[in-house]
A and B are shown apart, each in its own frame.
Chain A
């Protein structure tokens, strides 16, 4: 009886430890990653996203069409595109003060189609990306960008 009780306590402690190890980063990821279901189809969502980005004076520097690319290697997937975008003055707020944060530029938003035909627009909050650098000015830029991303995605998913 005593042995069983001891075993239960050990299993309990190990379980709590394992759960905290697993749950902590998962929760952070959930907070950082935003997935928004679009009211429009895939093609229209991408178009609206491009319009929303350009409407804020930014440039789409690259569109990566995963679906089309995968056709070359014999894989068939639903709509899947990544839009990379930015503008020089946005970079100016980041790279001169924190050159190592250049890794986060340009910003990107991913649009993909699920099996049920619904399209989702996903991104990782800039504030979460910049938080890793531990600089206040960069955190402020990140929060400002969060707001801009939210507006862009709202416009793209209408």
Chain B
């Protein structure tokens, strides 16, 4: 079977999460006022961004000639990045960086869940023969180094987990950098990811499609480009719809850094503001 039960199960689980969470907050709640920023929060945000970059980039590195393969990178880069992200989240929670904990957690689950929308269209594209391969199945055999025997149910689960984690990383990157935005912010992000995917080694070299699938002929109307553009548009829209409902505060990373620097300068120049106690 070209589409496996594993593919279907992951999509169904994700779609259920999307449906339930959209239903729960169908009306967009107003943004909460931003808490004061600090240097600590900025540092932890930076660390979280590093961990978010590792997930997708190990594949790019692994498929670049002369670089270590996925089994090595998964063990020595991906797993440590998960531990580091957990540590960052724990510290943010302990130190009361409510905005950061919300952005980390929300970015991960929203990014992961939105993958189901992407996969729904990706699997259709794959079944129609537009895409050259069932990528999560390939991720599985690459991570477990079992290319010779091909995919197994276990490698399929591993591959799908990686695929969903990569999308979670993209969701995390977005919430950490942009914070709460309108739904079309997610759509733009989905298109940026599409451009990245069409111009990096996993597709260009490993799948031999050339940049934007141009090697296949028909210009930009080729199956690979269109077959992955539609899934990424779906991913972006769902990501955006969930972001405007679940990310609590507005404000990009730039405004957080600016505020943290201003607060630091103020505290260096003058007395700290005395908190007003109520009652």
Contact = CB atoms under 8 A, between A and B. Distances in A.
A63 B138 contact: no
Contacts of A71: 1-2, 134, 137, 150-151
A63 B129 CA distance: 28
Contacts of A74: 2, 126-127, 129, 131-134
Interface string A67-109: 1111111101000000000000000000000000000000000
A62 B150 CA distance: 12
Contacts of A62: 148
A69 B150 contact: yes
Contacts of B138: 72
Main secondary structure of the interface of B (DSSP, over half): loop
Given A73-B133, A74-B2, A76-B2, A65 B148 contact: yes
B149 A63 contact: yes
Contacts of A68: 149-151
A65 B149 CA distance: 5
B165 to A, nearest CB: 19
Contacts of B129: 74
Contacts of B132: 73-74
Interface string B1-31: 1100000000000000000000000000000
B83 interface: no
Main secondary structure of the interface of A (DSSP, over half): mixed
Interface string B121-145: 0000011010111100110010000
A98 B2 CA distance: 45
A124 B129 CA distance: 35
Interface in B47-83: none
B150 A72 contact: yes
Among the interface residues A62, A63, A64, A68, which one has the most CB atoms of the partner chain B within 10 A?
A: A68
Contact of A63 (B1, B134, B148): B148
Contacts of B149: 63-65, 68
A74 B134 CA distance: 7
B147 interface: yes
Given A74-B2, A74-B133, A76-B2, A69 B147 contact: yes
Nearest to A69: B150
A72 B141 contact: yes
Contacts of A70: 150
Contacts of A65: 148-150
Nearest to A68: B150
B102 to A, nearest CB: 38
Contacts of A76: 2
Nearest to A66: B150
A11 B210 CA distance: 47
B127 to A, nearest CB: 8
Contact of B137 (A63, A64, A67, A72): A72
Nearest to B130: A74
Interface string A45-73: 00000000000000000111101111111
B214 to A, nearest CB: 20
A64 B148 contact: yes
B133 A72 contact: yes
A72 B148 contact: no
Contacts of B141: 72
Nearest to B148: A64
Nearest to A72: B137
A67 B1 CA distance: 11
Interface in B150-173: 150-151
9 contacts: A62-B148, A64-B149, A65-B150, A69-B150, A71-B137, A72-B137, A72-B150, A74-B129, A74-B131
Given A62-B148, A71-B150, A74-B126, 6 more contacts: A63-B148, A67-B150, A68-B151, A71-B1, A71-B137, A72-B151
Interface of A: 62-65, 67-74, 76
